[in-house]
Amino acid sequence: MGEDVLIVLNDAPYGTEKAYNGLRLSIALQARDNKVNLFLMADAVFCGVPKQETPKGYYNISDMLGRVLAKSGRVAACGSCMKARGLTVDGLIKGVEQGSMALLSEWTETCSKIHSF
């Protein structure tokens, strides 16, 4: 069995490739039987918005996030970051939960590796 890995995304879904690379790593880790917890902070909470339409041939962050969720990944979006941007958990992809500093602290204490993008 693999390890518990925490990946923290801090950047918007598009404009840089940080969210893209964090999700690529998440998917690759899950393929190697690791358990992935993904925490979305700051503008990364927009990664959880459903029905993103990207140009043909361009990566789609919401689709990639769906792949992580489909493989039993746990995804949380920072509640205060969501509130500051006018988002609610009902407006996010099904399976994304509202997170908190308490949850991020718990995940940090219980994981074996942490990556931040």
Residue 6 pLDDT exceeds 80: yes
Give tens-digit pLDDT for 40-55: 999 999 999 999 999 9
Q: CA 78, 84, 87 angle in degrees (round to 5)?
A: 70
Rounded CA-CA distance 70/91 in Å is 19
Residue 1 pLDDT exceeds 90: no
Give tens-digit pLDDT for 61-88: 999 999 999 999 999 999 999 999 999 9
Q: Reading across the β-sheet that carries 96-99, which strands appear in turn?
A: 96-99, 74-78, 35-40, 4-9, 113-116
Dihedral class, residue 102 (left if φ above 0, else alpha if ψ from -120 to 50, else beta): alpha
Rounded CA-CA distance 103/24 in Å is 23
Rounded CA-CA distance 15/115 in Å is 20
Q: What is the DSSP letter of 42?
A: G
Rounded CA-CA distance 75/36 in Å is 9
Residue 91 pLDDT exceeds 90: yes
Residue 109 pLDDT exceeds 90: yes
Domain 4-116 annotated CATH 3.40.1260.10: yes
Domain boundaries along the sequence of the chain: 4-116
**DSSP per residue, 12-31:** -SSSSSHHHHHHHHHHHHHH
